[in-house]
Amino acid sequence: MTPVNASLVASPGAGTAPSAAAAGRRPVAAWLLACCALVFAMVVVGGVTRLTHSGLSIVEWQPFIGTIPPLDDADWAAQFEKYKLTPEFKLRNHDMDVEGFKSIFWWEYFHRLLGRLIGVAYFVPFAWFWARGRLDGPLAAKLGGIFVLGGLQGAMGWYMVKSGLVDDPQVSQFRLTAHLGLALLIHAAMFWVAHQVLRPAPSGAPAGLRRAGLAFAALVFAMALTGGLVAGIRAGFAYNTWPLMNGQWVPAEILLIEPWWRNFGYNMATVQFVHRTLALVVLAFAWLLAWRVLADRACPPEARTAAWVLAAATLGQVVLGVLTLLMVVPVGLGAAHQGGAVVVLTAALWLARALR
């Protein structure tokens, strides 16, 4: 095997200049950050696909030959005939023609094509860096694990779609949330490793702030998952008022379903209430954390910058969420709000890494 590039593993004390080591690491970090940008685009396109009800338009999972779209009228007719067999066509879109089908097909097609592009954009540079000896053993293991997560994400996407091809033309909210959660996990892992590669030295920040940064990132991830449940049962189309939920702080029907725990996955009132409440908790936590970081002289400049970005991103996301709710989830705002979750998570991870 090609020897590992010493600039990636040797310490300055071992005879390698810090600037040379940093230069050797930058291409790996830049590649990972570029993949993060692609995942962000994937999440936004996925939001549009969901909001335009396009996700069930392609009824087969063909990872390789599915790259080629319909090329002529015969191909479109064949695809449309397959779609006509689905519950969505029979129960909701029975009056749709081929032109209408094309409008939903393309969003799902681009969503899947972007997923394939991310796979190629990740695997090819990973293989090249590995073959060139640019990755040490622990780093290669982390990157290999992320690639496995990418494969699981593709399988989860099809597992989600299959749930909407049976009796009820709507994907499982739990599978949709898992699909979103895996995308966020992949994005988070790539960003975390990229920052580790660029900033391997400890920051010197207090241990309490380091723990708070990690806890906040975990809380943002949990809030994003509740957003997946909101999207999955279309709870954003109900209780379109703020700050009250149709005139009540806590809607009376919040525990309507028996047993009580099913409300947290099936009751629109409960799911939206949890998401709203967590959003306010996240906003308060973000601003408190930012204030503590800015007030502590031991925190490095990068952490201070990340704290400002986090405070602004969190406030912007809450405002965007309220507007999306009040306007009854227009496609543009809904997709932007979904993308905003990735921005807030990225800012939270940046601050957590900068504090470490």
State yes or no: pLDDT of 50 exceeds 50. yes
Last residue of a domain, one of 201, 235, 268: 201
Last residue of a domain, one of 201, 220, 241: 201
Domain co-membership, 49 together with 100: yes
Domain co-membership, 194 together with 245: no
State yes or no: pLDDT of 15 exceeds 60. no
CA atoms within 13 A on the CB side of 77: 3
To the nearest 10 degrees (0 to 180), the angle between helices 173-198 and 207-232 is: 150
Domain co-membership, 68 together with 181: yes
4 found inside a domain = no
The model's pLDDT over 134-158, given as tens digits with 9 standing for 90+, comes to: 888 899 999 999 999 999 999 999 9
State yes or no: pLDDT of 356 exceeds 90. no
Domain co-membership, 190 together with 248: no
State yes or no: pLDDT of 24 exceeds 90. no
pLDDT at position 6 is 38
Residue with more model confidence, 59 or 65: 59
Q: pTM for the whole thing? A: 0.90
pLDDT at position 34 is 97
Mean pLDDT of the chain: 90
State yes or no: pLDDT of 20 exceeds 90. no
State yes or no: pLDDT of 86 exceeds 70. yes
Domain co-membership, 144 together with 263: no
Domain co-membership, 190 together with 290: no
As a whole number of Å, the end-to-end CA separation of the chain is 33
As a whole number of angstroms, the distance between CA 126 and CA 144 comes to 8
149 found inside a domain = yes
The model's pLDDT over 213-251, given as tens digits with 9 standing for 90+, comes to: 999 999 999 999 999 999 999 999 999 999 999 999 999
Domain co-membership, 196 together with 54: yes
* Across 294-300, average pLDDT: 90
Of the ranges 63-77, 197-211, 257-271, which is most confident? 257-271
8 found inside a domain = no
Domain co-membership, 117 together with 235: no
Last residue of a domain, one of 146, 174, 201: 201
* Across 306-328, average pLDDT: 97
pLDDT at position 122 is 97
pLDDT at position 25 is 82
1 found inside a domain = no
- Judged by average pLDDT, the poorest of 13-22, 177-186, 212-221, 339-348 is 13-22
318 found inside a domain = yes
Residue 167: pLDDT band with limits 50, 70, 90 = confident
* Across 120-133, average pLDDT: 94
- Bridge-partner residues for 248, per DSSP? 245
pLDDT at position 65 is 67
As a whole number of angstroms, the distance between CA 346 and CA 356 comes to 15
As a whole number of angstroms, the distance between CA 112 and CA 57 comes to 12
To the nearest 10 degrees (0 to 180), the angle between helices 207-232 and 268-295 is: 160
Domain co-membership, 111 together with 140: yes
The model's pLDDT over 96-105, given as tens digits with 9 standing for 90+, comes to: 999 999 999 9
* Across 16-35, average pLDDT: 75
pLDDT at position 13 is 38
Domain co-membership, 166 together with 26: yes
109 found inside a domain = yes
338 found inside a domain = yes
319 found inside a domain = yes
How many independent structural domains does the chain possess? 2
Q: For the chain, what is the total number of helices (H) and then of strands (E)?
A: 12, 0
* Across 202-211, average pLDDT: 84
The model's pLDDT over 301-314, given as tens digits with 9 standing for 90+, comes to: 999 999 999 999 99
For residues 177 and 46, is the Cβ–Cβ distance under 8 A?
no
Domain that holds residue 63: 18-201
Domain co-membership, 175 together with 29: yes
Domain co-membership, 160 together with 308: no
